[in-house]
């Protein structure tokens, strides 16, 4: 994740992870015990050919507390008294948290109090399942074991830790001979994990690591049933005609495997995209053959007018289905199903050596964020969907997964929502132990090479049909060496991988793939907004795979949930204090750099509330500038920007840095700064040359626009005003310069406001953007740039904002409800009688107790209103998240008097047809 460390620089700690998060729920399995002896509930497995039944949960216990033999533990009827219930995907600690063994680890330093010694020995995971017809073949199919496991079925060992190792390797165990009618038992003896020794996952300096190092099983364990012939590896290779998009060729592949001792003839039949498929396949005993359907032998697979998949904001997200059945003697033996999308992804290097993505023939700027699962890898589909919807709401088009590659449902959601994904292996631990000597990962053994290649093969087969997956990064800070690269590419080729493979997220190369076309130049800590406009270091040129101005202080509501009063007091008073909720890294352990900038630019905080309000302004302006700079430069003739990944999109716990929203999904300045910058049609100020540019992220060109720029002193006195008509701008990220603000304006205060507006040909305002600026620029010491930031030697003077008079902002709100979704409409109005605007007016949806209702998606927020101006905003959210309360609206802002008004109980909306 972090490049360019000086010799000896290491991250202070590392841990492990895979999967995703259960947000406010601790576990769907809390309390799910068999009343007789505390074991997990029994999974009933049907006999239907092709059925895949996930084990519904486990009972777990430390081997230090279990004296019985493996044969006894893994036998039906074993009395698992005192064992802890665990969900179907659960780390050890996640199960203990769900069972109430420890206090909320996201609060204060509770995580620190959990003893690590408990997780230095193996833990048992056992589960019972029933079958009614043992004559059918039965398989265990699983991945996501952290770090390794011995596997037993009905008292017999079926795999060892030498066989089952690595978080991503996939395993299919034929247990037909061991399965009996009635209750059966599967047991895993899970080994402790160390990400510097095992090819699993680590947390690096993202957060305080979990004391169990995420040991457990974090993906489903499937019980598969079938007949003599199994269908495996079914997938569809698509080839779209670009740029016409008028035709597409589909090639269907699957492996037919005869698991019996006699030769058979299997009929493989099915449908894809409305086309009927059928093929007779002769198989010798235990033979596997690849069955292929191509346009050359099945003309219907040459589609005309295919339904093309696009990222959100560029088009729709249609999906196709493949369904196959293998039959023997007229009886179904196995089935396979896959969903897929048709799209074309390319990412060549441009003339500057930067990687430039295009989809379906249209170039696009990758605008993303770094994705994090829950620290304890708890999976909650609704919570994941909420975050991906936030990405769409922010105008982002991608998330990068550096390791921690999520379960299948994550990519299903990304497919449906149109969010591009950039999965890849992580940095700095065992994954780069062979090639990154500056980090703590151990050198690879011969076994590690095999595990890594098997991991690549499993992930390639799992991800290849998802249209949202547009790359795989086989390296992060370091690129693999020639042997590792060849192993990865062989696995990808064997899986029919069709989208770009990138050598590294940093500026590294490999023998076959060549240059990565990416940069990892930081920053990771505070820099001023103007930094992003320099075409050097982390500035807006090329593809920056991970970067941000570091800390993102949450809202006051969230801070009070995650920290004690004493900790909050230290937060705003002591910049030198180590902040447990920032990072275990010595580099990022405090907020010293950030706090110095906050004080230097805005003035010393006077209270916790003042600290937080200044933080929201600082985060808004910085995140906005980062995305705006990359947006403006994307079509430049020289050194264009091609991609930017905000580090990070979210955090896996309650954090003080690297997040556009907090763990509870509350939104502050960082969120709304990103949302403003990524508007489809956007007017913006350029910190480098004072130009006012119009950026068009839509495909269609726009003309007849009017841009206006007005400058004000903090008291609202107007000092400059200019309007330019007839502005036009091409589409697909093009920009036009409407005007440039003068270098000097008579009577302008050292701190001033710039209001930019953009109206269309009909006079409707389509974009408004307000900046707080200074006649004194921030000064960067470029010569002392290191891997994590560029020092600032002089700060812009924004202290004049503190002189802004408080203004009354009134609000009226009403709420409607339909199909479980409520919409609250809020009109906020600056009722002041003077000239002073209300700067960054925030509207929060809260319940009757004043607690935020989350998640919520606002049409707009953090708006700035001049006297007499109003703005109407809408908030959309699940009615159930009110928990029976009536919604209220809390209005506050930089200089707005805080008030809370009722929003009315949700009323059913009336369809137009019945009005």
Active site residue 477: yes
**DSSP secondary-structure letter at 238?**
E
Is the Cβ–Cβ distance between 740 and 692 less than 8 Å? yes
Angle at 63 between CA 58 and CA 67, to 5 degrees: 110
| Alpha carbon distance 217, 49 (integer Å) | 26
Choosing from 99, 374, 477, 842, the catalytic residue is 477
Half-sphere exposure of 116 (CA within 13 A, CB side): 9
CA 421 to chain centre: 8
Place of tokens 């408990």: 118
Beta-strand pair 58-62/148-153: unpaired
Q: Name residue, tokens 């050598």.
A: 503
The rounded Cα 905 to chain-centroid distance in angstroms is 34
Element (H, E) at 147: none
**Residues 711, 751: contact at Cβ < 8 Å?**
no
The count of other CB atoms within 10 Å of the CB of residue 808 is 15
Closest C-alpha to 321, from 275, 272, 249, 251: 272
Beta strands 123-131 and 221-226 are unpaired
d(CA 218, CA 377): 7
CA distance 385 to 413: 7
Place of tokens 């990771």: 524
d(CA 686, CA 689): 6
Identify which of 690, 757, 701 has the alpha carbon closest to the alpha carbon of residue 734: 701
Angstrom distances, CA of residue 301 to CA of 234, 504, 722: 16, 36, 58
CA pair distance 869, 841, nearest whole angstrom: 12
Q: Look at the block and give the residue holding tokens 């899986």.
A: 495
Q: Tokens 């795999």, residue? A: 159
Phi and psi (nearest 5°) for 122? -65, 155
Distance (Å, whole) CA 280 – CA 545? 48
Beta bridge partners of 276: 271
CB-based burial of residue 353 (10 Å sphere; 0-12 exposed, 13-18 middle, 19+ buried)? middle
Contact assessment for residue 809 and residue 893, using Cβ atoms and an 8 Å cutoff:
yes
Query: Regarding beta strands 899-902 and 90-91, do their DSSP bridges make them parallel or antiparallel, or are they unpaired?
Result: unpaired
CB neighbourhood size of 678 (10 A): 21
d(CA 418, CA 278): 33
Looking up tokens 């400058």, which residue turns up?
Answer: 711
Of 205, 546, 552, 662, which is the active-site residue?
Answer: 546
CB–CB of 396/678 below 8 Å? yes
- The helix (run of H) or strand (run of E) holding residue 385 is helix 381-393
Any residues with CB less than 8 A from the CB of 795 and at least 6 apart, and which? Answer: 528, 597, 600, 601, 776, 778, 779
Closest CA to 25 of 103, 97, 110: 97
Q: Determine whether 762 is an active site residue.
A: no
CA atoms lying within 13 Å on the CB side of residue 609: 5
- Report CA 877 to chain centroid distance, whole Å: 20
Contact status, residue 341 vs residue 315, Cβ threshold 8 Å: no
User: With contact defined as beta carbons under 8 Å apart, do 630 and 525 qualify?
Assistant: no
What letter does residue 407 receive in the DSSP assignment?
A: P
> Please, are residues 843 and 828 in contact by the beta-carbon 8 Å criterion?
yes
Q: Which residues does the annotation mark as catalytic?
A: 477, 546
């Amino acid at each position: 994740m972090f490049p360019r460390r000086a010799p000896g620089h290491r991250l202070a700690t590392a841990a492990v992870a895979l999967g995703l998060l259960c947000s406010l729920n601790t576990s769907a399995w809390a309390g799910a015990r068999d009343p007789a002896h505390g074991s997990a509930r029994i999974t009933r497995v049907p006999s239907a050919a092709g059925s895949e039944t996930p084990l519904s949960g486990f009972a777990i216990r430390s081997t230090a507390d279990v004296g019985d033999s493996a044969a006894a533990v893994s036998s039906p009827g074993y009395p698992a008294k005192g064992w802890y219930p665990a969900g179907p995907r659960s780390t050890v600690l996640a199960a203990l948290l769900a069972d109430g063994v420890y206090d909320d680890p996201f609060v204060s330093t509770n995580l620190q109090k959990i003893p690590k010694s408990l997780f230095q020995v193996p833990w048992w995971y056992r589960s019972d399942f029933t079958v009614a017809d043992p004559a059918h073949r039965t398989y265990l199919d699983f991945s996501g074991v952290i770090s390794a496991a011995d596997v037993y079925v009905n008292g017999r060992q079926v795999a060892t830790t030498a066989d089952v190792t690595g978080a991503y390797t996939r395993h299919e165990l034929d247990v037909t001979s061991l399965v009996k009618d009635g209750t059966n038992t599967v047991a895993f003896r899970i080994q402790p994990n160390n990400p510097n020794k095992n090819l699993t996952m680590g947390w690096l300096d993202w957060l305080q690591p979990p004391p169990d190092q995420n040991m457990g099983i974090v993906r489903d364990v499937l019980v598969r049933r079938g007949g003599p012939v199994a269908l495996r590896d079914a997938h569809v290779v698509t080839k779209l005609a670009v740029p016409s998009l008028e035709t597409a060729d589909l090639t269907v592949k699957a492996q037919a495997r005869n698991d019996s001792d006699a030769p058979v003839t299997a009929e493989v039949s099915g449908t894809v995209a409305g086309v009927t498929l059928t093929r007779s396949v002769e198989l010798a005993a235990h033979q596997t053959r690849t069955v292929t359907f191509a346009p050359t032998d099945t003309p219907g697979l040459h589609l005309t007018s295919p339904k093309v998949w696009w990222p959100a904001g560029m088009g729709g997200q249609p999906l196709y289905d493949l369904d196959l059945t293998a039959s023997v003697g007229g009886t179904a033996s196995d089935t396979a199903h896959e969903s897929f999308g048709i799209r074309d992804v390319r990412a060549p290097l441009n003339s500057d050596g930067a990687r430039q993505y295009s989809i379906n023939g249209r170039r696009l700027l990758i605008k993303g964020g770094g994705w994090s699962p829950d620290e304890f890898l708890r999976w909650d589909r609704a919570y994941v969907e909420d975050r991906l919807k936030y990405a769409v709401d922010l105008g982002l088009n991608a998330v990068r997964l550096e390791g921690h590659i999520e379960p299948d449902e994550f990519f299903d959601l990304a497919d449906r929502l149109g969010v591009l994904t950039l999965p890849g292996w992580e940095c700095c631990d065992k994954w780069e132990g062979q090639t990154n000597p500056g980090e703590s990962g151990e050198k690879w053994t011969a076994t590690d090479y095999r595990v890594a290649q098997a991991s690549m093969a499993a992930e390639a087969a799992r991800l290849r049909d998802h249209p949202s997956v547009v790359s795989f990064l086989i390296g992060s800070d370091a690129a693999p060496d020639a042997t590792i690269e060849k192993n990865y590419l062989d696995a990808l080729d064997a899986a029919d991988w069709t989208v770009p493979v990138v050598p590294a997220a940093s500026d590294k190369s490999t023998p076959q793939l060549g240059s990565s076309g990416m940069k990892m130049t930081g920053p990771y800590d505070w820099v001023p907004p103007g930094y992003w406009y320099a075409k050097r270091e982390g500035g807006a040129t090329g593809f920056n795979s991970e970067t941000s101005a570091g800390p993102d202080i949450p809202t006051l509501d969230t801070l009070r949930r995650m920290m004690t009063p004493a900790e909050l007091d230290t937060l705003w008073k002591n910049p030198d204090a180590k902040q447990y909720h920032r990072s275990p890294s010595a580099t990022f352990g405090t907020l010293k750099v950030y706090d110095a900038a906050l004080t230097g630019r805005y003035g010393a905080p006077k209270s916790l509330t003042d600290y937080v309000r200044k933080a929201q302004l600082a985060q808004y302006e910085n995140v906005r500038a980062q995305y705006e700079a990359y947006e403006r430069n994307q079509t430049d003739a020289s050194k264009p920007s091609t991609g930017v990944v905000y580090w990070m999109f979210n955090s896996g716990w309650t954090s003080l840095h690297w997040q556009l929203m907090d763990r509870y999904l509350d939104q502050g300045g960082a969120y709304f700064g990103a949302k403003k910058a990524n508007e489809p049609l956007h007017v913006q100020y350029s910190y480098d040359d004072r130009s006012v540019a119009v950026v068009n992220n839509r495909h269609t060109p726009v003309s007849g626009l009017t841009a206006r720029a007005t400058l004000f002193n903090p008291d609202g006195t107007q000092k400059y005003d200019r309007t330019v008509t007839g502005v036009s701008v091409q589409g697909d990220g093009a920009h036009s310069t409407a005007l440039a603000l003068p270098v000097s304006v008579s009577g302008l205060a050292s701190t001033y406001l710039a209001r930019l507006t953009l109206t269309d040909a009909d006079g409707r305002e389509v974009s408004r953007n307000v900046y707080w600026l200074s006649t004194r620029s921030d000064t960067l010491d470029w010569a002392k740039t290191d891997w994590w930031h560029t020092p600032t030697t002089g700060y812009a003077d924004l202290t004049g904002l503190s002189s802004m008079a408080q203004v009354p902002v009134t609000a009226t709100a009403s709420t409607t409800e339909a199909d479980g979704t409520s919409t609250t409409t809020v009109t906020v109005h600056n009722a002041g009688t003077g000239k002073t605007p209300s700067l960054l007016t925030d509207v929060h949806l809260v319940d009757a107790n004043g607690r935020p209702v989350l998640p919520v998606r606002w049409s707009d927020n953090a708006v700035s209103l001049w006297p007499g101006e109003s703005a109407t905003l809408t908030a959309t959210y699940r009615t159930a998240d009110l928990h029976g309360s009536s919604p209220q609206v809390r209005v506050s802002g930089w200089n707005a008097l805080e008030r809370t008004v009722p929003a009315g109980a949700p009323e059913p909306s009336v369809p137009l047809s019945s009005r």
